[in-house]
Amino acid sequence: MSTLSFTLGGHVNVSITITEQPDGSLKFDLMVLDDTGSIGDLNAIFFDLADDSIADGLTVTGDDVTGTKFKADGVTKVDNFTNINGEVANEYGKFDSGVQFGTSGIGEDDIRETSFIL
């Protein structure tokens, strides 16, 4: 099994570890790091695929997953509260995948660490 770990840096840093599972699926572990002095709530992750043709056949499972969207070069939002419209979409364009965590609204949930299987 292969593992890849990296940190997405910003106002709030997020550690991501992707581990290949024995069945070929990928396990994503996401954790908000508090090394910047700020705290974040994980709402979603958006990513591109190396092979756009597999977008329609993907599924996601995870305790905190509340929505997914897959469309080659066509994803800027999962639903009305989780999106990458504006500056991010203008700079990077549309993504192939979006995985949403939790619910909208302050105080509903505060997800700082989660995992899902793709």
pLDDT greater than 90 at residue 94: yes
Provide the pLDDT for residue 105: 66
Q: What is the token pair recorded at 89?
A: 């979409």
**Four-residue CA torsion sign, 83, 55, 5, 94:** negative
Q: If pLDDT is split at 50, 70 and 90, which confidence band does 18 have?
A: very high
Which residue ranges make up each domain of the chain? 3-117
Q: What is the token pair recorded at 33?
A: 């790091």
% of the chain residues with pLDDT over 70: 94
Q: Which of 63-67, 72-76, 105-109, 110-114 has the lowest mean pLDDT?
A: 105-109
Pairing of strands 26-33, 13-20: antiparallel
Provide the pLDDT for residue 106: 63
Q: Which candidate, 53, 86, 84, places its Cα nearest to that of 70?
A: 53
